[in-house]
Amino acid sequence: MGNQIAEKEKPSHLQHHFVDSDQQFESSKFGMWIFLVTEILMFGGLFVAYIIYRSWHPDLFYLAAKELDTALGATNTVVLIASSLTIALAIRAVQLDKIKAAINYMAATVVLAGTFMVIKYFEYTDKFAKGILPGAGYTYDGIAHDMAANFFSIYYMMTGLHGIHVVIGMGLIIWMIVKAKKGAVHSGYYTPVENTGLFWHLVDIIWIFLFPLLYLID
Amino acid sequence: MSTHHISTFATLMSVAGTLLVLTFLTVAVTWINIPEPFNVVVAIAIAILKAALVAMFFMNLYWDSKFNTVVFLMSILFLIIFVSITLLDTMFRDAGLPVY
């Protein structure tokens, strides 16, 4: 009988295999961190490629980075930092049960992520127009270096994989807005918003490294 | 409960402000000519500082169970192993640079 009473007091979000909400929250968050580790190591492969090519052809990286627009790269860095701030504020709002504010902060995050992608779109199309395409598609002759195509292959792979993550992040945040509108997240249960926030901050951290490594080679 | 830290508005704003200042700084150091390889060292040092701020105060590692920090740092450790062992090969090849 005692067990049945305890069963009734369980909050609806609590899965039966957890002792309490805190254990569920901690486990879920730990799982998210494990996933982020795999993300770091996936991007790690690309960073290793970058490091090896730069150690082989430092002159190429110096020449090719001049083709990248530092102003646009810096703007995108500011945009992503702002989006990290808004998602952090969204989590704070959910923790304080200010669901309406949380939805607004998440919507702002989606808008900022969209801004990032629009700027990236202009950067890509500008390069495509010049014939700067990854791999065999490279036809640009403005860089006096035999290996110029390789820099841009690395550039497109790193920023492309990052861009895919931004789009996925936008999808996750929109999903969280839907959840918040349904009243599925609140101060007692905000695990999905917290984990989406962790994902989004990791996307920000990766860009924090991509920006100086690709755009700021002097 | 320590597991549910709620950051103050002021904390989040000042972390974001610091990140913006560091972004400006990382661009500004390219205007002065720092000799190789220290320009890369400075750029990476600023990036690490920024990443640490995001991880500690936006991703809440500062207040979390320290186990999450250990997991995060392990990924960095394995990344360093990945980079250094690969470089031990590619940096010391006698045959010269490959064609790619």
| Each residue's pLDDT tens digit, A11-33 | 888 888 888 888 899 999 999 99
Minimum distance, in Å, between the CA of residue A126 and any CA atom of chain B: 22
Q: Is A124 exposed, middle or buried (0-12, 13-18, 19+ CB in 10 A)?
A: middle
**How much of chain A, in percent, has pLDDT values that exceed 90?**
78
Q: For chain A, say whether B70 makes contact (Cβ under 8 Å).
A: no
Minimum distance, in Å, between the CA of residue A102 and any CA atom of chain B: 13
Q: For chain A, say whether B43 makes contact (Cβ under 8 Å).
A: yes
* Alpha helix positions (H), chain A: 2-9, 21-56, 58-65, 70-95, 99-130, 148-181, 191-210
Beta pairing partners, A189: A186
User: What does the mean pLDDT of chain B come to?
Assistant: 90
Residue B51, both tokens = 């990443």
CA-based nearest residue in chain A for residue B100: A147
CB contact under 8 A, A41 and B82: yes
CA-based nearest residue in chain A for residue B18: A81
Q: Is B78 helix (H, G, I), strand (E, B) or coil?
A: helix
Question: Does the pLDDT at position A169 exceed 50?
Answer: yes
pLDDT range class, residue B2, cuts 50, 70, 90: low
Question: Does the pLDDT at position B95 exceed 90?
Answer: no
Question: Does the pLDDT at position B65 exceed 50?
Answer: yes
Residue A146, both tokens = 């035999």
pLDDT range class, residue A1, cuts 50, 70, 90: very low
Cβ atoms of B42 and A110 closer than 8 Å:
no
Domain count, chain A: 1
Could you report the predicted ipTM of this complex, rounded to two decimals? 0.91
Q: What is the pLDDT of residues A115-142, one digit of tens each?
A: 999 999 999 999 999 999 988 889 898 8
CB contact under 8 A, B72 and A37: yes
Q: Is residue A15 part of a domain?
A: no
Residue A104, both tokens = 């607004």
CATH number of the domain that residue A35 is part of? 1.20.120.80
Q: Is residue A135 part of a domain?
A: yes
d(CA A130, CA A19): 60
Minimum distance, in Å, between the CA of residue A3 and any CA atom of chain B: 25
Q: What is the pLDDT of residues A197-208, one digit of tens each?
A: 999 999 999 999
Contacts of A168 (CB under 8 A, 6+ apart): A199
Minimal Cβ distance to A40: which of B19, B75, B87: B75
Beta pairing partners, A182: none
Beta pairing partners, A186: A189
Taking the alpha carbons at both ends of chain A, their separation in whole angstroms is 73
Q: Is residue A179 part of a domain?
A: yes
Residue A37, both tokens = 């580790």
A:B CB pairs within 8 Å: 128
Mean pLDDT of B31-57: 92
Q: Is residue A11 part of a domain?
A: no
For residue A55, count other CB atoms closer than 10 A to its CB: 12
pLDDT range class, residue B36, cuts 50, 70, 90: confident
Minimum distance, in Å, between the CA of residue A78 and any CA atom of chain B: 7
Q: Is residue A6 part of a domain?
A: no
Q: Is residue A77 part of a domain?
A: yes
Minimal Cβ distance to B91: which of A55, A211, A218: A55
d(CA A81, CA A1): 53
Minimum distance, in Å, between the CA of residue B47 and any CA atom of chain A: 6
d(CA B57, CA B8): 11
CB contact under 8 A, B68 and A70: no
The whole-model pTM stands at: 0.92
Q: Is residue A174 part of a domain?
A: yes
Task: Report the residue of A48, A83, A189, A191 to disrupt the B interface, i.e. the one with the largest count of B CBs within 10 Å.
Answer: A48
Beta pairing partners, B14: none
Q: Is residue A81 part of a domain?
A: yes
Structural domain harbouring A91? 21-215
Cβ atoms of A123 and A156 closer than 8 Å:
no
